[in-house]
Amino acid sequence: MSENRDYHHNESIPLNRGSLQADCESCFGLCCVALPFAASADFAADKAAGQPCGNLREDFRCGVHGSLRQLGFRGCTVYDCFGAGQAVSQVTYAGRDWRQTPGTAKQMFEVFPVMWQLHELLWYLTEALSRQPARSIHGELREKLEQIVRLTRLNAEELLGLDVAAHRAEVNVLLLQTSELVREDARRKHAGQPVRHKKAGRGADLIGAKLEGADFRYANLRGAYLIAADLRGADLRFADLIGADFRDADIRGANLADCLFLTQAQLNAAKGDADTKLPPSFARPAHWTASGKRR
């Protein structure tokens, strides 16, 4: 296995995003089986939890991967497991897939969402530890990250017995502190530059809002509803975007450099272009347009 696939086997703690990215070649198609979906604008059919998607092949690969959006499975192109799929497949179940050992199937499908949540927490904690303005709490962040990594190494029964909500609440306290420290530091460094984001705020309802060119620097947009919002050319530098809903948000030409707690799934759900500025290590989604072109 590569370095990005086996960090759970080692005592070292992952401090890079590569170890928390999906490796579908090492997964048993868990997101295509364990998770339910309903016929909608994102999915062309209904599927119950634990039922294999009709497009899943025997080798656990998607039979229509290259045409998902055209065939009505846009939701599949948005999803990101933060590397939980390969962790469950190759670590928790040591490479024993649910087809060869059907007795493990139900349990494996129940473990997957638990591991997904743990890996999501690792994603955010890893970023928090990379933020120098939050160095005063790096010790607490590292301690929590190490604890979550240890949880990912538990066996299936132990994973299913975890109170993930309690761990999420503890991590959230640290992420809030990180956000405040980073955003305040950025404000001080850019003192004198006016900032206007009256519509910003935790959980703000900005569905369909006309926000072209808006200045959201240093804003708290945690959990904001940005569905179908026009954010073309908006400045989101150092904005806290954890949990913000970017489905169909138009971020063409927007500046997301240095924003906090962004995920690939959020970008995948949005509409961007070659002029959208992204933080390092993020992939520009294939469905985004070229510079200046509308979808």
pLDDT tens digits along 36-62: 999 998 899 999 999 999 999 999 999
Indicate the pLDDT class of residue 201, thresholds 50, 70 and 90.
Answer: confident
Per-residue pLDDT averaged across 5-31, rounded? 71
Residue 249 above 50 pLDDT? yes
Domains identified in the chain, total number = 2
Indicate the pLDDT class of residue 19, thresholds 50, 70 and 90.
Answer: confident
Residue 174 above 80 pLDDT? yes
Domain that holds residue 219: 197-295
In three-state secondary structure terms, 271 is strand
Per-residue pLDDT averaged across 190-195, rounded? 67
What pLDDT sits at residue 255? 98
Indicate the pLDDT class of residue 88, thresholds 50, 70 and 90.
Answer: very high
Domain identity same for 15 and 148: yes
Residue at a domain's end among 134, 152, 183: 183
Domain identity same for 242 and 160: no
Per-residue pLDDT averaged across 228-242, rounded? 96
Tokens 């948005």 label which residue? 78
Q: Is residue 63 part of a domain?
A: no
Domain identity same for 171 and 132: yes
Residue 206 above 60 pLDDT? yes
Domain identity same for 259 and 124: no
Domain identity same for 139 and 31: yes
Q: Is residue 67 part of a domain?
A: no
Domain identity same for 18 and 115: yes
What's the predicted TM-score (pTM) here?
0.90
What pLDDT sits at residue 203? 81
Domain identity same for 179 and 252: no
Share of residues in the chain with pLDDT > 90 (%): 80
Domain identity same for 179 and 202: no
Please classify residue 265 by burial: count the beta carbons closer than 10 Å to its beta carbon, then call 0-12 exposed, 13-18 middle and 19+ buried.
middle
Residue 177 above 80 pLDDT? yes
CA distance 242 to 255: 16
What pLDDT sits at residue 11? 45
Q: Is residue 113 part of a domain?
A: yes
